[in-house]
Structure 1
């Protein structure tokens, strides 16, 4: 993916300036996960192999997914064109359905001085575009050709992602013997959104992160990344690089899937490193349960995704970090 020397496209806090880099990744050793990362073939879906990947890793590489190569390439190309626009132009989108953010979506929507003031050390070194797939049925039109093209492309891409998520989740639900009445609300395509990220070139990249370590709150997350690496997962007390492989996707399980499986499946901790010399584009698809669906499990007290999100927001405000599933685990955090 080509990079631009024009820092006018970067949010002001991320433009080069004198001063030492702040805290970032720890000193835990890193290595490639290429040899061990499970590979799941969607064309001849082997349920046993899928289950092994979910139980042992919580993440896998998906091949033969059926998304045209040209569509995958075009999404990355148009994303690069969008992010190369000036910061002020992108900033004007933050109140639209297709909204632009940087650092984190919550900071960008909050209207606080953190957006344009001195860099917040815990902020992620990225900018992004959020696109709810429920917006695709809206009559909302955009007045700029680039946004019209991008919206159309993301709708097409999102339809493929929904197909993949439903196929994979149905196989998982079947293995877990989740009744159809429940599984139909445990994965709700109208809740899904796409998030397009650009990880910015970063001075002192060894001391910064594109995204801090976390688990996803989703049922499933499906990632399409360009050729620039950076994604890492935490396994066996070590950070492992998930190297890009052309024409493949990365699927990881989220907290909701772990709860639904009674902890048989893993919601894996992951993060993204940044580069001093290269930008990185990735596109994530996130899908959740219906808001009023009650997640029932022998390991957790019954809860809805809305309750989960409310607890997460409260913890971020009070504790300063996501606690997540332990808040609902039986006999803990009573």
Structure 2
């Protein structure tokens, strides 16, 4: 381990004990080649002969089979995305003593974690993270970090574009499910942003960037800048989500699985580390409003296909379930069979 007082917590020759997960939770077979099976969907494709747009059909199929897909030609300007990634890189590169050694709470609106990021049994994740609320944007923006100086301006511009894209994707999912147009219009917003910095790790087989988990959102949009490390559970095996420059990874969250009456999948995913590669990502969670009642859409429930989930308010669901990279699969607690 470096003795330089200005060195960062991850600049080590071996993984510290308090970053080593149990043998059952450590990633296995990291050196085994795994095909990138997650569908890549071009949102600029024209309408098909049946009147549905081709992306609608592809998104619906991917959401059923994988619970994950990537979108290209999504309409978000490349400069907007690059500026956001640059700002987060600056943020994580800051060598302030407060930021480098622990948790910073700024007006109780965001939390930055580094080596204090406990997740289970006193073990740390191999990452640094910042989370903050995003809605209503005009009320949240002044609570965000003021360093780097352009943080608020750049991230606000990024979130405006993310809101447009998420609304577009939800409309296509509505069409695929046969729900009325605008079904999610008044109940979904980009509620939370979470950016993660995963530095190189001396031994990726011992630790994790994020533990296996489900997202408690409608959908989550992730920009990973062409980097690798995100893995999705498919048929009992971990599948890599390929790093595609200027593509967004989209995954189905627990709330959309409930509304679709399990026609769409919220699947387990995790992040593994790398010996040489640095990974920087921006996740935006499109969530229901806190008082929104979440239950299967009535049009999707019948005698032949009864409701599989108990109705609950979103805020009560989140309060009673672990999420966002914790070790509990929150979706299970909503099922009738588990109640």
Same-fold call, TM cutoff 0.5: yes
**SS, match of residue 299 in structure 1:** coil
Distance 2:112 2:145 in 1: 19
**Pairwise CA distance, 1:178:** 3.4
- Contact 1:32/1:242 (8 A) holds in 2: no
Q: Partner residue of 1:96?
A: 107
Asked if residue 16 in structure 1 is aligned to residue 12 in structure 2, the reply is yes
80 and 128 in structure 1: CA distance in 2 versus 1, 3 angstrom threshold: same
Structure 2 unaligned regions, length at least 5: 46-52, 297-306
Distance 2:292 2:138 in 1: 23
173 and 306 in structure 1: CA distance in 2 versus 1, 3 angstrom threshold: same
Q: Partner residue of 2:60?
A: 51
**Pairwise CA distance, 1:192:** 1.6
192 and 304 in structure 1: CA distance in 2 versus 1, 3 angstrom threshold: same
**Pairwise CA distance, 1:180:** 5.9
CA RMSD of aligned residues (A): 3.2
60 and 274 in structure 1: CA distance in 2 versus 1, 3 angstrom threshold: same
Asked if residue 324 in structure 1 is aligned to residue 321 in structure 2, the reply is no
Distance 1:92 1:273 in 2: 23
- Contact 2:67/2:265 (8 A) holds in 1: yes
User: Could you tell which deviates more after superposition, 206-215 or 288-297?
Assistant: 288-297
Q: Partner residue of 1:40?
A: 41
- Contact 2:310/2:335 (8 A) holds in 1: yes
Distance 1:31 1:57 in 2: 19
Q: Partner residue of 2:158?
A: 157
Asked if residue 243 in structure 1 is aligned to residue 242 in structure 2, the reply is yes
**Pairwise CA distance, 1:173:** 1.8
What whole-Å deviation, never above 9, does each CA across 1:231-285 have from its counterpart, x for those lacking one?
1111122111112111111111111111111001011211101123332110011
Distance 1:143 1:243 in 2: 31
Q: Partner residue of 2:197?
A: 198
- Contact 2:28/2:205 (8 A) holds in 1: no
User: TM-score scaled by structure 1?
Assistant: 0.81
Q: Partner residue of 1:3?
A: none
Distance 2:259 2:143 in 1: 39
Distance 1:206 1:299 in 2: 38
- Contact 2:113/2:129 (8 A) holds in 1: yes
**SS, match of residue 286 in structure 1:** strand
**Pairwise CA distance, 1:144:** 8.2
What whole-Å deviation, never above 9, does each CA across 1:60-95 have from its counterpart, x for those lacking one?
110111111122222212211111112534357423
Distance 1:15 1:239 in 2: 28
User: TM-score scaled by structure 2?
Assistant: 0.80
Aligned 1:1-334 pairs, distance under 5 A: 8=6, 10=8, 12=9, 14=10, 16=12, 22-23=20-21, 24-27=25-28, 31-34=33-36, 36-44=37-45, 45-46=53-54, 47-90=56-99, 93-96=104-107, 99-102=110-113, 122-134=123-135, 136-138=137-139, 141=142, 146-179=147-180, 183-185=184-186, 187-189=187-189, 192-297=191-296, 298-313=307-322, 321-330=327-336, 332-334=337-339
Across the two proteins, how many residue pairs are aligned to each other? 310
**Which of the pair is proportionally richer in helix?**
1
What whole-Å deviation, never above 9, does each CA across 1:148-197 have from its counterpart, x for those lacking one?
41111111111111111111111212332335685334x421x5222111
- Contact 1:9/1:85 (8 A) holds in 2: no
